[in-house]
Structure 1
Amino acid sequence: METIIFSLLNGTIYGLLLFMLSSGLTLIFSMMGVLNFAHASFYMLGAYFAYTISESTSFWVALIFAPILVGLVGALVERYGLRKVHANGHVAELLFTFGLAYLIDEIVKIVYGRNAVGYDVPPALDFSLFELFGAQYPAYRIFILFVAIFMLAVLWYVLKRTRAGLIIQAALTHPHMVGHLGHDVPRIFMTVFGVGCALAGLAGVIGGNYLVTDPAMAVQMGPIVFVVVVVGGLGSLEGAFLAAMLLGLLQTFAVSVNATFADLFGWLGLSATSELGSITIAQLAPLLPFLMLVLILMVRPTGLMGDREI
């Protein structure tokens, strides 16, 4: 019971963090049709901006201004970079964002070095919130839970219940009609790209001290983000949420299982002394998201809730 409860808590929080990171990428793709390979780099920028701001002010100031700065960087990238290559098709966009990811990575290494920085949990949240089965549960993890739920509620409300959200959705399907009605469609796309990057930056602010803030964080999280987006369905926020929660819980439960293949498939004659039989489920946890990706592409290429094939 202890393993189940803690895995549920940790898996839910990790899944929500994955959704925070993937929601911006899903939003950009659904509104603009751009699969941004540099999205995880904006997540990294959010963590480093938060570290810099919190060093001179506080974490709470960084929580507000770091995502805004990342959003501004994203808007500038769209306005002066991505928009110019957009006319050359999706291949040019992919190459541009792929190169941008490497550029951001090298700039971060030049400015902050190659080692992890001391971006710590704020003292106000660095305590145990409750005790369960004799183990202390950190308050900061529950804080991540509330921030992610708040972000999800705000994002849903803006897209589904506000005039701005209706304009954004209309610009996706009928950009020329929206332009004829007097709206600046390029500015709408720039705003959407900036907001998507800001969401990644927010994930970096609260995930950088929960995990680690170093130049490798974008490479570590980037593949998982694309798995979430593809499994959930390209362009579907609901699918991204479902996939993020599913992958978060799946990986967390797998890490907590110490059973080997021999324990599970011993009835097939698999020996614990063999190489295959000695492999534990926990060792396979990092492979599970990509295994799910392969299965989804084989069975349902549109993803769980998407309507576009990969």
Structure 2
Amino acid sequence: MSQEKNTQNFRYKTYDTAWCPGCGDFGILASLKAAVEELELDPHKIVFAGGIGQAAKTPQYISGNRFCGLHGRALPAMAGAKLANDDLTIIINTGDGDSYGEGGNHFMAAIRRNVNITHFAHDNQVYGLTLGQSSPTSLHGYVTGSQPYGSYNEPMNPVATALIMGAGFVARGFAGDQKQLKELMKAAIAYEGYALVDIFQPCVSFNKVNTYAWYKEHVRPVGDDHDPTNFDQALKAALTFEGADGAGIPTGILYNVKRPDYKAQSAVLQRGPLLKQGADYSFLEGEIRKFA
């Protein structure tokens, strides 16, 4: 398509936010806007969804269809939306608590179902909306106002979990590297099936450990020798977190293989989106009269 058409019809507006100045979510929002514009996705055919939390506010700050769900429940709701209307592009933005804590069961179920939805997890290793409690991905010993002696829990590794659960597309990004993050988002959106991008997102207000400077010192893009179709290589990269070997935490597409998605395995969905199949609701008339 021409640049003129792209600029005119595929431009996404962004709006004033309630995020703290310097929040890593700004980098994620900018990368998301650039990704959907470069993919020339029609704003009327896209749904930005979230649950509860600072990350989950993202749909409120970009033009397009929006869905704000319950805490941890955005994934199943949007799986239903995609099954009902396959013409929609579904992009879910949730935080580490929303994704892996309150919504941890739905996270695993989404991988198993493999419905064609895209999941961007803003991983700041803290509950920012509720003023700084440790989250499922907080490092062991992480000190908070409610845990002055540090977190006793070992951190969850979401990318390793996704791989072991059988996800076909798993990536890790950093909000401070918008150029790389934009490309990761584009690849995830284009993937046919459940796609996870876990995004390191500095929280300038409550996480004084995992800062922009900390991430810039510790993260590195996966090397040219990384094969995203090799599960063993992907798992090794996923498990490389603290950079004990001095190599740093790998970012990029860790794993990208084709898996049969939910639609491909459903005879009903092969007939087309549920929205277009039609339904006979006449049987409801009698049921409704019972409550008259």
> Which one has the largest radius of gyration?
1
What's the TM-score once normalised by structure 2's chain length?
A: 0.26
Larger RCO, structure (CA 8 Å, separation 6 or more): 1
Q: Give the structure with the higher percent strand.
A: 2
What's the TM-score once normalised by structure 1's chain length?
A: 0.25
Q: Give the structure with the higher percent helix.
A: 1
